[in-house]
Structures are given as C-alpha cells and as structure tokens.
C-alpha cells in the first residue's frame, strides 16, 4: 500500500476509535482488572460483582476511568498517527504498552484501595486526583518514548506526516 492510502487508513481507524460509542477497552479489561485488583486483599474476602469489588461491606465501583481506558486509547492513537510503523511493530508496540499500562493500573488501584480501607480518605483523594489528572498521561508518554526507542521508531506522531506532506508540496520545494 502506498503512503497516501496508508495515511488515510490510519486516520480513518483513529477517527473510528474516537467516535465508536462502545468502549472496547472497558469491556475487555474490566474483569481482569477487578480480579487482579482484589488479589492483595484476599484475606479480607473480597466479593467481585459485575463492576465492583466489595471489601468489608465497602463497595468500590470501577468505571472507565478506573480501568484507564483513556490510556489505551491514547496509546492506540499515538501508534495510528505515527508515520512508517509497520503492522508488526504496531502490534508489538500496542501489546507491550498495554501490558505496562495494565500493570501500573493494578498497582495504582491497589494503593488507592489500601488507603481507602485504612480510612486515609484525604490521602486517597489526593493520590486519586494526582494519578488521574497528572501521572496517567505522563506515564503513557514515558511508555511511548521508551518503546519507540526500544523498537527504533524514528518518526513522531502527526509531525512526521505533516513534514512529509509539506515536502511534497510545491510551496516548500
């Protein structure tokens, strides 16, 4: 497939990911997240329901933000918006990045559950806000940089495509 077709295909897939109302990552990762997040608290006999963990009569509800779905979407969008990544590298990048996101998210959830159960509500709320608003995006960017260096990907999302397209126009020749 030639560059214009590849670019259009990548952009269409990226747009579809953003507009499809079904959250694929939430559906795939809710149960594994619930079960693995409950593991450290087995002594407390956690009960796992459809979308929550009940520990000591406390219901901990898991929504899309708890599963870190936006992190997986950000990773997928970064991959799709990066020029010259072949399918094999894209898959390796996404699976490796997703595993790193998943592990960090389980650790984050367990830390938050611990502080919540220890009645450290102020610390829980502070850490929850810090993880949610700041750390998660920075973590995905760090994963992105680490994996692109490891896989020797030299192109930059969006910018490499723009540079290439500008180099092909008569204005910038």
> Is residue 127 one of the residues assigned to a domain?
yes
> Is residue 172 one of the residues assigned to a domain?
no
What pLDDT was estimated at residue 132?
78
Residue 129: which residues within 8 A CB-CB, separation 6 or more? none
104: confidence class by pLDDT, cuts 50, 70, 90: very high
> Is residue 7 one of the residues assigned to a domain?
yes
3-state secondary structure at position 41: helix
Residue 118: which residues within 8 A CB-CB, separation 6 or more? none
Q: What is the pTM of this model?
A: 0.88
For residue 58, give the H/E element and its range: strand 58-61
Report the domain count for the chain: 1
Output the six-digit token pair for 71. Answer: 């992190």
45-54 tens-digit pLDDT: 999 999 999 9
> Is residue 173 one of the residues assigned to a domain?
no
Burial class of 59 by CB neighbour count within 10 A (0 to 12, 13 to 18, 19+) = exposed
> Is residue 110 one of the residues assigned to a domain?
yes
Provide the domain limits for residue 131: 3-167
Name the percent of the chain lying above pLDDT 90. Answer: 59
Count the neighbouring beta carbons within 10 Å of the beta carbon of residue 162: 11
């Amino acid at each position: 497939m030639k560059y214009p077709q590849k670019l259009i295909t990548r952009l269409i897939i990226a747009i579809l990911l953003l507009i499809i109302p079904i959250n694929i990552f939430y559906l795939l990762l809710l149960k594994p997240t619930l079960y693995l997040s409950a593991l450290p608290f087995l002594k407390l006999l956690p009960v796992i329901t459809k979308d929550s963990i009940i520990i000591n009569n406390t219901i901990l509800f898991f929504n899309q933000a708890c599963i870190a779905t936006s992190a997986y979407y950000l990773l997928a969008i970064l991959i799709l918006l990066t020029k010259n990544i072949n399918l094999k590298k894209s898959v390796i990048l996404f699976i490796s990045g997703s595993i790193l996101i998943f592990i960090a998210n389980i650790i984050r959830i367990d830390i938050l559950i611990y502080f919540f159960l220890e009645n450290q509500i102020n610390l829980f709320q502070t850490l929850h806000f810090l993880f949610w608003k700041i750390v998660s995006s920075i973590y995905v960017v760090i994963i992105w940089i680490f994996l692109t260096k490891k896989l020797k990907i030299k192109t930059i999302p969006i910018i490499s495509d723009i540079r290439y397209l500008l180099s092909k126009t008569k204005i910038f020749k």
